[in-house]
Amino acid sequence: MAAAAARAGGRPWRVIPRPVMETVLHNHALHPRVPQPLLLHGPRGVGKSTLLLNRLLPQWSEPPHYAAVVDFLHPSPSSPAHAPWSLLSDTPPSLPSLRLRLESALEELTRAAVLRGAVGSNDVLAALSRSHGLHTMLSRLAGPASRRGQGTNSVPVLWARAVLAATSSARGDDPTFRIGEGEATNCSMEERAYMQEAMAALRVAKEVLGMQEGWRKEAVREMNRTGRFSRPLANSATDWPCLLLDVLSGAAEEDFFQPKLVLNNVDALRKATCEDDTMVPAAVYHDSFIWRVIALGANEQCLPVIMSTSDGYYSSQAFVDFGFPNIFISRETFGWTPQEAKLHMVSEFFSEQEL
């Protein structure tokens, strides 16, 4: 692999011993909040997924630690460490499916935060209010009485009414946003009510952002047709996962609730396909999400986000596209020596161009 990299014009991979790499990743994830995402970049087949999923994930899943894992090449987090690269399909995954995978993982992590008592309705409102106007949409969700008095009710009042409406209506039946049987059994009635209110608040926030994105569909279609770029339109597609990241980061507390997000094969998100012209392209979605993760870390500090990839884009081009040389905490020298690669029969599965 080192020789192939040298012939390709790049520097050979320096080898970082697995215990050292494991320590670096684990120490990074131990912090409740960090200023930057961490990028784990190395050649295919050297064991990045195995290290993350088999060695570190069990430690990151024991309370007070909670981990959400999204693998953009595999439908479940249990398969990537065992599926040979040679068996992977050449067809890129679709953006809607990857988007659903990311949002579902973050929703489950946020749900765990609510059941832990780390997130309340006011936390959701505070995060939502930082970057969104809410009065009109909350008036719609709060019920007919609020619409008749539109303009006289404050956002906190409308929010409380919308959350109450979501608690008492069918919107509260979404299993992601309700307390299931056998959950929160050791809590008092007041604590359980607090959790139910937080669940309803998340449902309201999702509806609000969904409404805003729906209003922009024709503008996104026009952007795709003309090839222009609009950051507000790009951000509208990532508003929901980024809101959840904001809420989770604010709730992170040492020895109480320490969430983390692992994005395996993150390059697949950038290369995904999308046939719906009312959705932003995959590359735009990818860039918007990562840019906002970086901004959250720089401005407020973010929960640990660890991205794993074998795509050289993230070390050779990403800093140009994003305009900042130290965009990631980068550990991009993880690999085997040529002798170790031969021992593991790498040449049996990959051509020299792939190494």
Q: What is the pLDDT of residues 35-81, one digit of tens each?
A: 999 989 888 878 888 899 999 999 999 999 999 999 998 766 544 44
**What pLDDT does 13 receive?**
60
260 and 288 inside one domain = yes
Question: Is residue 224 a part of any domain in this protein?
Answer: no
Question: Is residue 43 a part of any domain in this protein?
Answer: yes
238 and 327 inside one domain = yes
The dihedral of CA 184, 159, 289, 219: what is its sign?
A: positive
**What pLDDT does 4 receive?**
33
**What pLDDT does 333 receive?**
44
Residues recorded for the chain: 355
110 and 136 inside one domain = no
Distance (Å, rounded) from C-alpha 87 to C-alpha 300? 41
145 and 73 inside one domain = no
314 and 246 inside one domain = yes
Q: Domain end: 190, 215, 240, which one? A: 215
Number of compact structural domains in the chain: 2
128 and 273 inside one domain = no
Among 2, 269, 236, which Cα is nearest to 133's?
Answer: 236
Distance (Å, rounded) from C-alpha 135 to C-alpha 156? 9
pLDDT at 32 over 60: yes
Question: Is residue 222 a part of any domain in this protein?
Answer: no
- The stretch 322-332 carries a mean pLDDT of 65
pLDDT at 332 over 70: no
107 and 127 inside one domain = no
Question: Is residue 343 a part of any domain in this protein?
Answer: no
108 and 247 inside one domain = yes
Domain that holds residue 139: 119-215
176 and 236 inside one domain = no
293 and 196 inside one domain = no
233 and 326 inside one domain = yes
Average pLDDT, the chain: 84
pLDDT at 177 over 60: yes
Q: Domain end: 166, 193, 215, which one? A: 215
Q: How many CA atoms lie within 13 A of 270 on its CB side?
A: 17
pLDDT tens for 84-110 read 555 566 788 999 999 999 999 999 999
Question: Is residue 8 a part of any domain in this protein?
Answer: no
- The stretch 9-25 carries a mean pLDDT of 73
Q: Which is more confidently placed, 3 or 45? A: 45
CATH number of the domain enclosing 114: 3.40.50
**What pLDDT does 303 receive?**
97
125 and 209 inside one domain = yes
pLDDT tens for 108-119 read 999 999 999 999
Q: Domain end: 215, 240, 261, which one? A: 215
- The stretch 269-298 carries a mean pLDDT of 94
Question: Is residue 220 a part of any domain in this protein?
Answer: no
List, in sequence order, every residue forming a beta bridge with 70; answer none if it has no partner. Answer: 263
Q: Which is more confidently placed, 40 or 170? A: 40
Question: Is residue 342 a part of any domain in this protein?
Answer: no
Pick from 87-91, 170-174, 227-231, 346-350: least confident: 170-174
pLDDT at 129 over 60: yes
Question: Is residue 223 a part of any domain in this protein?
Answer: no
